[in-house]
Structures are given as structure tokens and as C-alpha cells.
Amino acid sequence: QGHQKLFGIVQGGMDPNLRKRSAEELRALDFDGYAIGGLSVGEPAPVMNAMIEATEPYLPQEKPRYLMGVGTPRNIIDAVRRGIDMFDCVMPTRNARNGTAFTWSGVINIKAGRYAEDFSPLDPELDCYTTQFSRAYIRHLLNVDEVTGLTLVTIQNVAFYLDMMSKMRQSIREGSFDEFCRKIEAIYPA
């Protein structure tokens, strides 16, 4: 159908030659976009980045390039530096189930005891529904297994990722992408 796009998925494990061959053969089929699959399965970030670098030159610049299953803020900026346009990941929702929140001051494990009497918002730099609730309240909800706590941290995490991606696009348009990357690297070190 006209509104759907078909992506070819480049594979090849950790072998740059197999990834090159896969990319070249998929490119010959002229897909709407190209995905890089088979990464983010436990390999160290430098290995993942090397496989992106081995693959990206063989993908058309004018079509979307999608890195499957990658989702830490640091991994995302590293991939964008290497020419990747799109991502998907369960990290914002999966980590929320464990009480882990992504914020503009870094990762927060909201279940930790130090938040029991912290009445500040989870992330004061982010404007989302969760901001109206205190860290202490969200911690309480999570610690008594109230599903609302999971929902609030999930909303926080998804809002953070949306905000991060919006600010990243803005930094690219404004020519300040390197500065944006330094900010993310300071908040989310490798």
C-alpha cells in the first residue's frame, strides 16, 4: 500500500565483509529504506559502532537508514554520527518496569531509598504528565507494586526520548550537533 514502506534488513553478524555483501545485494533491490539488524545483542559499543561503520557506506544516502533495537541515549548519538536516521527500542518501557528513569540529569533508579523524601519532580527539565508527581510519590507507588508507578516512569522515559530526539534534530539543523553530543556524553557516559 502507498503509505507503507518496505525496508531491507542488512545482516552479517560481526563480519564486515558479510555486512557489505548483504548491504550491496539489498541495495540492488531498491527498498524504501534500509535497516541494520543483528546488533545490540550484547556486543560492546565499539564493536557495534564498527559494524555500523562497515555497513553505512553501502546504504543509499537518500533513503532512511534504521538501526534496529538500539536505544541508550549514548548509542543513539553514536549511531547518528555514523549516518543512522531511525531507531526503535524497548529500553524506555522495559527500564521503567524496573524503576529506572531517563532524565536530563542522567539515569535515576527511583526505587532507591534516597528518594523516599525527595519531593522534587522526576525531571524538572522535562514538561510531561509525570512532572506533576514527586520522586517520593513515584517511588512509593513502585515499592507497593502499584501499576500507576510503572505508567508514570514509562511516560517520563518516552517523553525524555521524544525530547532528546527533538533536540537532536534541532541541533543538526542549527549546526550544533557536536555540542549536543557532548551534553549527552556528559549525562550518559559510556
Q: What is the mean pLDDT of residues 118-145?
A: 97
Query: Percent of the chain beyond pLDDT 90?
Result: 88
Between β-strands 106-109 and 100-103, what pairing exists: parallel, antiparallel or unpaired? antiparallel
Instruction: Taking residues 1-27, report their average pLDDT.
Output: 92
Looking at residues 175-180, what average pLDDT do you find?
A: 98
Asked if residue 39 has pLDDT above 90, the reply is: no
Domain spans, the chain: 7-89, 91-190
Long-range CB contact pairs, 24-32, < 8 A, 24+: 24/58, 27/58, 27/59, 27/60, 31/6, 31/7, 31/63, 32/5, 32/6, 32/7, 32/63, 32/64
CA distance 164 to 87: 13
Q: Can you tell me the distance from the alpha carbon of 135 to that of 155, in angstroms, rounded to the nearest whole number?
A: 14
pLDDT tens digits, 74-107: 999 999 999 999 999 999 999 999 999 999 999 9
Question: Residue 1: its pLDDT value, please?
Answer: 61
CATH superfamily of 7-89: Aldolase class I (3.20.20.70)
